[in-house]
Amino acid sequence: MANKTIRIGTRDSELALWQAHTVEKKLNDLGYQTQIVAVKSQGDIILDKPLYELGITGIFTKTLDIAMINGQVDIAVHSLKDVPTALPKGIAQAAVLERADVRDILVHKGNLDFLSDSATIATGSLRRQAQWLHQYPSHSVVDLRGNVNTRLQKLADNDWNGAVFAAAGLERINITPENHITLDWMIPAPAQGAMVVVAMAEDEFCREAASELNDIEAEIATYIERQFLKTLEGGCTAPIGALAQFIEDDILFKGALFSLDGKEKIYVEKRVPIQEWKKLGFYLAHEILKNGGDAIMKVLRSELRPKT
């Protein structure tokens, strides 16, 4: 078993391949043999429908899950924010890598006058849409799909004023345009900026190998954020932001739930000792639900029901 080649499953976009090669290099440095296997996902193929209409929360992970269950690959590398909070039966989280920049950025065309005027901003994320409209109620938001390269090209080809991206995605493949501003006020997606390695639960060799790449702070922070998301019952698509950060011996958590139009926002912020991390996301999600979040989630469920 010691000389087993670990087959690393990945989507075939530039960013996904960068993530897979990063994991490959780390495993190689530890003495493991690896091979990259690129698989096209439905999320990359179906670009004409918003994600929530496809009725699948794990659209970017489903193809790789099937490849792993079928024995075509041994481990898979994902952006953790794309991974459903409930992993498929038989698949286990093996490692969360050290986290990159968690923030969102606005890529624009060199002139920011539109911020105080009317404007059109592009994003495929309901979380970004809701927060943008909350901050800029006079703006309109258009849907933007595809991998990061495709989305940058679409921004250039259209007369939109700007588009929102995760800072980490553009930084990783070194394509962050000069014309951008950091959106410090926007609460990131749960687990944004974090990469995860998953393996078959029964595959001890691969799980053990991958576990050597685990970053404990990133694992705990993303666990809290995803627990918050799961408790609110939002798939990857609902307008939910969450961020857990380590500050000395404490964890500072910020979370929010929005209505689709951005008019309603329920926010929670709490600083607790690190020891209290295990149920933090759960308790704070319940605080949101109690303060009016329950009603917002009911509306969201009817608005985001897959169209038949």
Residues annotated as part of the active site: 82
Closest CA to 189 of 146, 135, 142, 228: 228
Specify whether the CB–CB gap between 100 and 218 falls below 8 A.
no
- Looking up tokens 């976009």 gives 13
The set of residues, in sequence order, having a beta carbon less than 8 Å from that of 14 and lying 6+ positions away, is 147, 148, 149, 173
Cα 210 from Cα 76, distance rounded (Å): 10
Cα 41 from Cα 2, distance rounded (Å): 31
Written as one string, the DSSP assignment of 16-83 is: HHHHHHHHHHHHHHTT-EEEEEE---HHHH--SS-GGGGT-TTTTTHHHHHHHHTTS-SEEEEEGGGS
Which sign does the torsion angle of CA 273, 279, 280, 286 carry?
negative
Cα 54 from Cα 307, distance rounded (Å): 8
Closest CA to 201 of 96, 92, 93: 92
SS (H, E, C) 186-211: CCCCCCCCCEEEEEECCCHHHHHHHH
